[in-house]
Structure formats: structure tokens, C-alpha cells
Structure 1
Amino acid sequence: MNNILIIEDEIKVSEVIKAYLERAGYRVYCSTRGYDGIKLFNKINFQLVILDLMLPDIDGEEICKIIREVSDVHIFMLTAKAELSDKIKGLTLGADEYLTKPLSPRELTARVNALFRRINSDKTTILSYDGGKLKIDNERRNVQVKGKYVVLTPNEFDILYALALNNGKVLSREQLIRNVYGIDFEGSDRTIDAHIKNLRKKIEYNSKEPKYILTVVKIGYKFGAVKDPE
């Protein structure tokens, strides 16, 4: 059973979300304060954190930073801030989805279900590039650059894996969204750009002159490395 942590100061909101998710088969824990949520996160192995940004004691964005320093757990940010700049900032901090209030608990549950379907899909392929300098292990969902593990968020990993599987093929932002978020995603396709920027910082030797993730102007992105012989 997957464990989900809800950090939300509106008790009625968290109770409704908790009820829907438990009905869907998840084990759900709730915290109304940020620091208490962090303590709970450090005690239990969670697979997803649903994080409100407007908390009474600490900003949700700061909590996201703290969690990302120690874990690649999936993070859904939940907030009333609907501006694109806010969404890009949240994704840059390491969130996997940025959901704006008011949000239907049924829709949120559908997004959570879609997330875990993606996680539990194909887990058999190990891809190696550039003489083993870049390795992508889909079974363990980890990435090595020059023999060192790099920490990717779940969505960053899914984007990298989708590009690598389609090596040399140009994928539009819309195609990457379908691969990562599913067909019901309603946000801006520019959220992909924020993830790509983070990915390049983590896996490229020079993020300003990338060799793995290449931009195809006005179309999207493609993977540019040659796969190692098996």
C-alpha cells in the first residue's frame, strides 16, 4: 500500500482529500503545520506528498526544498496561486505537479492513480550512453553520470527516460506531457521547459551546450547521445 502525506492547514480540505484517497486504497497521513509535516515525513516512508504552499508556520516552497535535499519522493503542490510564473517556480524547486485550488478531490485522486500507474508500468530497461558515462536504470529509477548517481525528481526521470527511449526522435512538449502527466493534464506545456532546464543542470557536462537533451526550435526536444552496444 502506498503512503501519502498531506500537508494542508485547512482541515476540511485535507479530510475530504484523505477520504477520497483512502477509498482508492491509499494509506493517508495528514498534518496541518509544515514543521510537523516534515517530522512525519522523516519517520515514515512516503511515496507521495501533497503540499499546500500557504501554511501558517513555514512556506510550502521551503518545505519542498527541504524534502528535495533528502528524497526524490513525488510532490504535488496544491495552492491558490494560479500564475504561470508561480507554477514554473514550483516545478523548478522540484515539484512534480502544481495544482491550483479549488481542485476537485475526484480529479486529484485520478491524478494520483495515474501517477502510480506510471510508476508501476515498464520497469525492465537499462539504457547506457556515451561509453557508459550516462546510465538510465528504469527498474531502479536511477541515473548515473560518470559513475555517480544524480538525484532526479520523478517527473525529471520520466522525461529523460521518454527522450532516451525515442533516441534521435523529436518529441513535442505535448508528447512529453502525455508521457509524463497523462492525457488529462490541463497545465501549460511550458512546464516541460522548467523540467528540461533542471535536467540539463544535473546530467549535462555543460548545461549551456547540451549533448544529451537537445532543443529543436519551435518543435520540442530530442535525445542526442548514441546508445552503447548491448
Structure 2
Amino acid sequence: MPQLLMIEDDARLAQMVGEYLEQSGFVLTHATDGKAGLALLEAPTAAGLPDLVLLDLMLPDMDGLEVCRRLRALPSDAARLPVVMLTAKGDPMDRIIGLEMGADDYLPKPFEPRELLARIRAVLRRRGEAAPSARIMRFGSLEIDRDARTVTVAGEAREITSYQFDLLAALAERAGRVLTRDQIMEAVRGRELEAFDRSIDVHMGRIRAAIEADPKNPKRILTVRGVGYVFARQQD
């Protein structure tokens, strides 16, 4: 499910928005001020980075424009996250400055939750259309070539089965997102699906043996206990 981060000091509003968006298939994490929001973006949890940031313009510790400026300056994938600004201020200049700072959209308060949902979907859709998936995915020394269907680590070929390649590619394409076993299997639909969830665990163990420096202490494919797996974004 798409992950959202809402940086908003109004806890009641954040709860209302979170409940509404969760009904539409989103997962919302709430940060009460700019410092807490930036901390989540600089050091993501096991769930990884969000897919989009909802950013209030008026925060208790720093304004949303400053948060947006710092976000865009981060030396990581977080710097490219789409941002929708929310504000009770009606000054058109704030909207102009926000967009110039790198915000993708701007919604004045009070707003209808349905409009917020529509804008979130539109921003995510535009981002997806503007960034077609690369045929070769690189994560530090790990390289996954979709066309050649090969996996190399530091230039050295690693042997995995065709089915394991599909599983690895499905995770890598969704780097930073926690996927359940069902979601992983759904992502490789069209292949002959395995009969039991635990077969995914066996395949993941073999993929780790192929690509991890220490398969018993993996750094790339992480287990999220009780949920599934996440492909970590960090570089080697």
C-alpha cells in the first residue's frame, strides 16, 4: 500500500485525514513538527521512505517552506519525494514560493478529504508517468538487469533461478516498501505461483545467499517480522 508522511501539528486533523486515506488504501504516518518529519526522512524506519509527503506550511518549530528546502537538500532518495503543501494561509505568494521550493501541489485549508485524495493520486500518477522504470537497477555494488535477467555484485555474476530473479526484481522495483508475501506473489503473477507462503521464505534465503555479503545478517533484503520483506534502499 502507498505510504504517506503527514507533517502537521494539528493532531485531530491528522487523525481525520489518516482515517479517510486508509479507507482508500493508503498508510499514513504522522509527525507533529518539522524536526520530527525530517528525522523520519533522514533515517527511515524498516517501512522505508514514504511515497509522498503532506506538509503543513505553519508548524511550531519551523515553517513548511524551510522543511521543504531541507528535504530537497537531503543527500538521499528522500530529496526527490513528491510534496503536497497544506496551509490555512490564503496568500498567493505562499503558493508561488512553495512551488518554487519544490512542492508538487498546494491545497488551502479547510479542504475536502476527497479533494486531498484526488490531488495525492494525481501527483503520484504524474510522478510515475514522468519516471519510467529503468531497465537496469543499481543499488551500490548490486546490479539487476531486467533485459539480460542477470544479477551481479561488484561486477561478479550471481546465480539465481528465473523465479528468484522475478522475486528480487519485484522487491527492488518497490525499494523501501514493506511487502507481504501475498503482495510479492501478486507482483510476479504470470509466473507459476508457489503453493505456500513459506516457499517465499525459502526463495528469499537463496536470494540472500547470492547477493548478501553475510546472508545471516542481511543488509539488502530485510525481514519485517509478522509482515513480509522490504528491499533496503541504502547503498553499499
TM-score relative to the length of structure 2: 0.50
The CA deviation string for residues 191-216 of structure 1, in whole angstroms up to 9 with x for no partner, is xxxxxxxxxxxxxxxxxxxxxxxxxx
Aligned counterpart, 1:10: 10
Q: Secondary structure at the match of 1:113?
A: helix
Note if 1:51 corresponds to 2:55: yes
Matched pairs, number: 126
**1:69 and 2:73 are equivalent in the alignment:** yes
Structure 1's unaligned 5+ residue stretches are 124-137, 141-230
**Whole-angstrom distance in 1 between the partners of 2:34 and 2:126:** 28
Identity %: 41
Quick one: which amino acid aligns to residue 124 of structure 2? F
Between the aligned partners of 2:108 and 2:129, the Cα distance in structure 1 is 27
The reply to whether residue 87 of structure 1 matches residue 95 of structure 2 is yes
* Residues 1:113 and 2:117 aligned together: no
3-state secondary structure, aligned to 1:95 = coil
> Whose Rg is larger?
2
Q: How does 1:90-105 map to 2 (within 5 A)?
A: 90-105=98-113
Q: Deviations over 1:77-126 (max 9, x none)?
A: 10012222111111111111111111111110111122233344586xxx
Distance 1:120 1:61, change over 3 A: closer
| 1:159 paired residue number | none
Q: Which amino acid is the alignment partner of residue 15 of structure 1?
A: Q
1:36 partnered with 2:40: no
Inter-partner Cα distance in structure 1 for 2:133 and 2:83: 20
CA distance in 1, matches of 2:127, 2:98: 22
**Secondary structure of the structure 2 residue equivalent to 1:51:** strand
Change (3 A) 1:120 1:65: closer
Aligned counterpart, 1:139: 133
Q: CA deviation at 1:38?
A: 0.9
How large is the Cα RMSD of the aligned pairs? Answer: 1.7
Deviations 1:151-183 (Å, cap 9, x if unpaired)? xxxxxxxxxxxxxxxxxxxxxxxxxxxxxxxxx
Q: Show structure 2 runs of 5+ residues with no match.
A: 135-236
* 1:38-81 CA-partner distances (Å, limit 9, x unpaired): 11122131110000011111111111001001211000110012
Cα distance in structure 1, aligned partners of 2:60 and 2:25: 30
Structure 1: distance between partners of 2:26 and 2:103:
20
The amino acid that maps onto 1:109 is L
1:45 maps to a residue whose letter is L
| Equivalent residues of 2:34, 2:59 under 8 A apart | yes
- TM-score, structure 1 as length reference: 0.51
